[in-house]
Every structure is written in C-alpha cells, then in structure tokens.
Amino acid sequence: MKPLSRAAIVAVGSELLTPSKIDTNSLYVTEQLNRLGIDVVTKIVAGDDRDGLSRAFRTLLEQADLVVSCGGLGPTDDDVTREAIAQALERTLTEDPAIAEALRQRFAARGLGVMPEINRRQAMVPAGARPLENARGSAPGLWIEAGERVVVLLPGPPRELKPMVTALVDGPLRERAAGVPLVRRVVRVTGRFESQVDETLAPLYRRWRSRTPGVSATILASPGSIELHLSSRAASLQGGEAALEIAVSEAVAALGDDAYSADGRRLEQVVGDLLVERRLRVAVAESCTGGLVVSRLTDVPGSSRYLDLAVVTYANAAKTAVLGVPSALIQEHGAVSRPVVVAMAEGIRQKAGAEVGVAVSGIAGPDGGVPGKPVGTVHVAALLGSETRTREFRFLGDRELVKFQASQAAIDLVRRLLLGSP
Amino acid sequence: MKPLSRAAIVAVGSELLTPSKIDTNSLYVTEQLNRLGIDVVTKIVAGDDRDGLSRAFRTLLEQADLVVSCGGLGPTDDDVTREAIAQALERTLTEDPAIAEALRQRFAARGLGVMPEINRRQAMVPAGARPLENARGSAPGLWIEAGERVVVLLPGPPRELKPMVTALVDGPLRERAAGVPLVRRVVRVTGRFESQVDETLAPLYRRWRSRTPGVSATILASPGSIELHLSSRAASLQGGEAALEIAVSEAVAALGDDAYSADGRRLEQVVGDLLVERRLRVAVAESCTGGLVVSRLTDVPGSSRYLDLAVVTYANAAKTAVLGVPSALIQEHGAVSRPVVVAMAEGIRQKAGAEVGVAVSGIAGPDGGVPGKPVGTVHVAALLGSETRTREFRFLGDRELVKFQASQAAIDLVRRLLLGSP
C-alpha cells in the first residue's frame, strides 16, 4: 500500500463562514500529522451543505492521499458530513447496528433515558467505514479507505477531536504514514527590513535546498517582527533536526546579533534571560508606548527577578516630577527628543536603583505630529554603567502599531546594549 | 451584469498550512462582504505553490461569482498569487509601468534608495487587471474581471488589506453586489458568566426570531470577555439596522450596566469616553498586570487628556518608596490584599494629582501562589472622591490570561465607579 504523505483538511460548519468563528482544529490536526511526516497541502472551510461538501471531498481526494474532516457529525439535519462523503465516494449509507447500540447504551448510562430517534443519524455509515471511538461525545469518528486513499471524519468539538487524533497518530495513521518526518525551526530577526534579510540569506537558500536532507526557508514579516521559518524532511527525526541545527547556525552567523532567537523565545524572554545571566535589574520609563514595554517584559514568568519599577510619564509635568527631567530640557528639545529620553532613562534608573535604564518617547498618533516630528517619530534610550545608547525611528502604521514597534525597538536596544553589539 | 452574491476566499501562504499560523484576514473580509449582501460560501487555504493555487482559483470560480485572495503579493519568489491567477484565467502577465514607477517613488520617498530589482515583481499584472491602491504597503491589490465573475487580489498584512477592503466595499464592490444585506451588532458584557447571560436573554431570543425581519443571536465567550452577536438579513440595510437597533436596546435593558458597549467600543474606550465626559483624570498603579492596564488605556487615541501618570510597582519596596504604601501594611496583609491595593490607588492618585485612582495587585503565576492565595488571586481598587470600590477575584488560566482578566476587572471597576452602578 502506498504510504500517506499529503493531507487535506476540511473544516465543516456554516458558522466558520461568518465573521465571528474560525477553524482552529486544523492547527492541532496539522501538528499531529506533521509528526508522522504527513504534510498538509490545503485546507477548506465548507458550510453545512451536502452537495458543496461532497464536491469539496472530491476535489481534495484529487490533491491529497489523506483527507481529514472536522465537524458535521452531530445528530441534526445540519450535520451532513456522513452523507457528503458517501455521495463523494458513491457508496451507500446504512445504519451500523453496533454504533446504534453503543449510542443507546450511552444515553442510558448517562441517565438521559431513551435515545431520541434523531440520534440514529449518528449510526449511519458509508459502506466499508470503520468507526473511531469517541470517548467524550456521542458521535463516533469514521475511517474510510478508498483505494490507496484514506478519509477520516472527526467530530468538531476540540475536546472530542483531540483524543481521537492522538489515538489515530499512535495507531492506524502511524502504520500508513510515509514516515519522513517534517521538523521546523524559527529564527527571529530584528533591526532589518524583510528584503535585507532575504538578500543576506539568498546564498544560503540555495545551499540548503541542495543538501540531503534539504532545508526549506520562508520569511514571515510584519511590522517590528521578521521570522525565518526553516523546515526539513528527513528519513529520521534526528536527521532532520541535525540538518536544521546546521542551517540555523548558518543563518544566525549571517545575520549576526540581528537574529535574536532560534529556539522559540520571544524578544522579552531573550532580554529577561540576559538580565538574569548578567544579574542586572532593569527599570523602564515610557511615554508613547504607555506601559507596553513593561507589560511585555512582565509577560515573562519570573520577571520580578530583574524588574522592580516602571513608570508611564505621559504628561511632561510627570516626566519632571517623577523622573527629574529638567523642564528646561523639555522646553528646549521637546518631549520627543534624544536628550529627554536619555534623561528619562537616567531618572528611572536612579529612582529604581537598577543598573539598566530604558526609556521611550514618541508620537503614537493619530494626532500630535508636528513639522519635523511626524506621527511615528520615536526616540529610545538605554543606559548601562556609563554607556548610553540611543536610536531615533520613524515608524509607519496606526497608533497600536507604532506602540508595538516602539516597544520592540526599546526592548531590542536593551538587548544590544547587554550584548555589547552594534 | 449579474450582481455578485456568492464569494469564496483564498488565504495564500504555506505558513497557513503549518501548526503555528492561522488565516484571520477572511473574518474581516467576510464581515465587509456580508454588509453588501454577499455570502461567503467557502474558504480555502493554499500554499505558496503556483500550480496548486491556480487550481484553487479555478475550483472556486466554478462555485462563486466573487473570489477574493489574501496574500502572496510580496516581492519574493514565494509570492505567486499574480502568476497563479494569470495561469488560472489563461492571461499573460506583464509589467505595469505605472505601478513600477509608483514602487520606485515609494522607495525614494522613504529614503530607502534605489528599489531592489526583485520588487519589480510587484508591478506584474495579468492582462485586464486594475490596480487597487495600497496606502500602507508596496504591493498594490488587483481587480480582475472574468466574464461575469470578479477576482480580487489583496495583500496579506492586515493593515494593508483592511483599508483596501473598505475602499472596495464603498466603491466598486457596492456597485456590483446583489444586496440582501446581512447586518450585525455586537453587545459586549462584563461581570457575568456566559450561562447567566444566556439565561437572562433566553426570552428575548424567541421574540427576536419571530419578528420580520428576524434577528439571530449567538454568544461568544472567552475569559474576561462575553459578546452577544446579533444579526439580521433584511430587504434593506436600513430595515436590518432598525431591527437590530431594537434588539440591541432590549438586550441592553435586560443586562443593565453589565452591557458596556453596543457600538464596537472596547472597554478602555468606554472608560476613556466617561472620563472625558466627566472631565476627570485617572492614575494607575499596577503590580501583577505589569503595565497592561495603562497600556490598554493608552491604546485609546487622545488618552493624554485624562492620563498623566501610571506606575508599575512590581517590588514591595517600590510600592512603599513610590506610592507611600506603609511597609507595615504589606507585612501585615501581604502585597496581594485589599488594604494594600487601596493604599496603592490612594498613593498614585495623590502623586498624579488625579481625581480617580485605580490599582491592581495579584498573583499572575505560574509561581507565587501561597496557601489561601493561589495563583490567579487578584485584588483591584478604584477611588473617586471619598468613594472606594474594591473587588477580589480568583482567575483561572495561564499568566497572560490572568493578566488580561485582571486588567479587564480593573478597567471595569473604574467604569462602574464612574457610572455609580453596582
């Protein structure tokens, strides 16, 4: 029998075609399939419509050798997945007496009395289908072989679906999988544009592709965040992981300190770890970021080891009263200026008795821009001992995006200061 | 020309076929299309593979009269959406000189120098395509007519996609839409469990369904947030909006002050508006929320009108030094206690010279729980004049979830204090 290597996932439910619900089952299913070396090549969301869903099954069976559906196995008229797959495979749908009996017993055992007639729908199966036990709900899953292809029907509720997927991955799917596991690593980058990262890495892409096992690379960029996603498919999990380890080292060597994480850690975690390692404490003074820098730093468990105090001095008077920034300095340079952020960082560092001080001041918008200092102008400063680092930025985007990019810049400036890197 | 009524959405990107990324653009696109009476009949996620994507376009053009793609318009080799649609529609792909020139100017205007050759890919368009302006990025969208069908290619980054969708819905799409509009309203609720909201509203559900036009209701709940989603499909936008307006009033009357927003405003915006209206200023002192309360309050444009100063006093010594909380009080009751949050709120109110003081202290976890005060224990206090409000919570969930729920509780306590409601 040909091993399974390409999967398609169908999420079933008209609610998934509205603005308020999204399919998340497919993430779990994907993760589990990838562990067996099965790729997900496409996903479809289909409404509760038998013909449409049947068409979706047919299309997917042309592209994939494993089709997994999630949802539409309930007892109501809306639940059409069983009928749709029977139609797509041109098989008859008949009641499975064993499933019907199990349903009846389930009702009795839970004190729900006689099973409503409608629930018998859940015992209908296409010819040749094998039921998959549902320990947490009434709808059994179904395993259907169609030539060399396999269709798996799973229930929609995540708490019913997940144990069923686990059982499949440990059982029948493992036996049928191609077994060339796909492994992944992510390298996170700051301080460069996407195109600059791409240019730096272009020679590596070619080298990685040509190796055995090959390594594929994709760049995912959003404002303030660039991620290099590397993946490799190898005969063994170990082989893939080793290939990725080499590729990650090469990427990090090419990107230098602009690559801040290759192990899933977020920027605030990386900085937190550096502070713990160096036994330093940080204090934060924010204006335009309004607390986002300290909120991110304190998202890290155990951050109380290196953070005692932060202030958000939104008003100029607060910068003077709380941080001791001379009002003359603010008058001369403006609150959004290099001298003022340096004074803020110095002020908070002294107030907190911390070794590291970091400060941000800027114009988050939508109002507040002035000639020469448009919305998005941000100054950051970070201090350690006698060393002072400052940067000026012009960020694009709306208020929340400017806040995020400014927080990213401030946290990254601390990182570079601690590393002694440019 | 036949009006457009059935849409399909393609989310493009191999990263959307991994366990770590999910398409969310389609939610916004769906919401906007629904407003024009255009239903979304299916959604597909396709990888960065020209042939696969081209096949997806062809399949969808058989099922829908409007196909909207999101993503794959960037400058790299991975960005294949332009090529895939050209292949699906069997059209030639040529460089549009106007787009190329606009790209060059964009690079020059941002001080990025000469445009890299690779970005010229973004100027390639299928024959007959019309560019859609991208005010926030380099990749223009494309509008392509194919007989009576329309294909719209949108960029992937939400901040670029959203304004483009808005412009389409106000312009060319509105002219082409079939129009039995589906309208939606959301009522946001705090301070109750999902089941309590459901019980309160059950009699209304029946009344709403029996009216013409009918109103459907769904409750979406997540920790710290309950939303009542109402929708109505009416012959006219006005008819649907009027039916919803009545239903919203009835829901709000039933829920009282627990319903904090029926117009899309977030909790922090509602509180900001109350502060502006009452000409009051607020000052914030945080411990376990680590700056999240003030960060959310300053997400609101114009928040400098009512917020001057906030502090994050993570360490007990900082609570004493900066906020004047007596260290004896902390020793007697612990930092996570009613007396200490009241003292924090009083301290920050005085320091900032604000009328309203709000404070939070709690145990965000994963460590720090003690007998009688497990992880998730949170105290909040809010003061105005001589009035003092306090609440104690035991939140479930991980560190970030506890932080979010605690911030929600603190901001909501200020809202109730300002409204004089229980």
B118 touches chain A (CB under 8 A): yes
Type of residue numbered B192: R
Phi, psi for B126 (deg, rounded to 5): -70, 150
**Residue B400 or residue A183, greater confidence:** B400
Average pLDDT of chain B, as a whole number: 93
Residues A279, A249 share a domain? no
For residues B367 and B332, is the Cβ–Cβ distance under 8 A? no
A344 touches chain B (CB under 8 A): no
SS percent in chain A: helix, strand, coil, step 5: 45, 25, 30
Residues A316, A243 share a domain? no
Average pLDDT over every residue of A172-186: 83
Average pLDDT of chain A, as a whole number: 93
The predicted pLDDT at position B359 comes to 98
Question: Does residue B223 have a pLDDT over 90?
Answer: no
Per CB-CB distance under 8 Å, the chain B contacts of A266 are none
Residue A333 lies in a domain: yes
Residue B156 lies in a domain: yes
Residue B33 lies in a domain: yes
Minimal C-alpha gap between A263 and chain B (Å) = 14
Distance (Å, rounded) from C-alpha A71 to C-alpha A80?
Answer: 9
Residue B1 lies in a domain: no
B261, B276, B298 - which closes a domain:
B261
Minimal C-alpha gap between B295 and chain A (Å) = 5
Segment A297-323, tens digit of pLDDT: 999 999 999 999 999 999 999 999 999
Residue A349 lies in a domain: yes
Minimal C-alpha gap between B336 and chain A (Å) = 15
Minimal C-alpha gap between A364 and chain B (Å) = 9
CB within 8 Å: B30 and A22 = no
Residues A81, A58 share a domain? yes
Segment B57-76, tens digit of pLDDT: 999 999 999 999 999 999 88
B261, B283, B314 - which closes a domain:
B261
B176, B201, B233 - which closes a domain:
B176
Q: Which residues pair with B380 in a beta bridge?
A: B360, B391
Per CB-CB distance under 8 Å, the chain B contacts of A310 are 291, 311-312, 314
The predicted pLDDT at position B288 comes to 96
Per CB-CB distance under 8 Å, the chain B contacts of A228 are none
Segment A140-155, tens digit of pLDDT: 999 999 999 999 999 9
Range with lowest mean pLDDT among B101-105, B283-287, B310-314, B407-411: B101-105
The predicted pLDDT at position B118 comes to 82
Residues A165, A238 share a domain? no
Mutate: best of A26, A39, A297, A298, partner B, most B CBs <10 A = A298
A301 touches chain B (CB under 8 A): yes
Average pLDDT over every residue of B248-259: 97
Please state the domain count of chain A. Answer: 3
Per CB-CB distance under 8 Å, the chain A contacts of B284 are 312
CB within 8 Å: B15 and A220 = yes
Residues B369, B239 share a domain? no
Domain at B26, CATH number: 3.40.980.10
B253 CB-near residues (< 8 Å, 6+ apart): none
Residues B152, B38 share a domain? yes
Q: Which residues pair with A43 in a beta bridge?
A: A9, B45
Range of the domain at B46: 6-176
User: DSSP letters along A124-180, please?
Assistant: EEETT-EEE--TTSSPPEEEEEETTEEEEEE-SSHHHHHHHHHHHHHTHHHHHB---
Segment A84-135, tens digit of pLDDT: 999 999 999 999 999 999 888 888 887 777 888 888 889 999 999 999 999 8
Residue A1 lies in a domain: no
For residues A313 and A344, is the Cβ–Cβ distance under 8 A? yes
Residues A194, A47 share a domain? no
Distance (Å, rounded) from C-alpha B397 to C-alpha B404?
Answer: 10
Q: B113: alpha, beta or left, given left = phi > 0 and alpha = psi -120 to 50?
A: left
CB within 8 Å: B290 and A295 = yes
Residue B42 lies in a domain: yes
Minimal C-alpha gap between B41 and chain A (Å) = 7
CB within 8 Å: B55 and A63 = yes
CB within 8 Å: A292 and B293 = no
Residues B242, B336 share a domain? no
Closest-CA residue of chain A to B310 = A312
Domain at B327, CATH number: 3.90.950.20
Mutate: best of A20, A194, A336, A405, partner B, most B CBs <10 A = A20
Residues B275, B256 share a domain? no
Residues B167, B315 share a domain? no
Domain at A192, CATH number: 3.30.70.600
Residue B106 lies in a domain: yes
Residues A392, A364 share a domain? yes
Question: Does residue B10 have a pLDDT over 90?
Answer: yes
Which residues numbered 121-180 in A keep a CB inside 8 Å of some CB on B? none
Question: What tokens appear for B401 in the block?
Answer: 């979830």
Question: Does residue B222 have a pLDDT over 80?
Answer: no
Residues B279, B139 share a domain? no
CB within 8 Å: B41 and A295 = no
The pTM score is: 0.80
Q: A296: alpha, beta or left, given left = phi > 0 and alpha = psi -120 to 50?
A: alpha
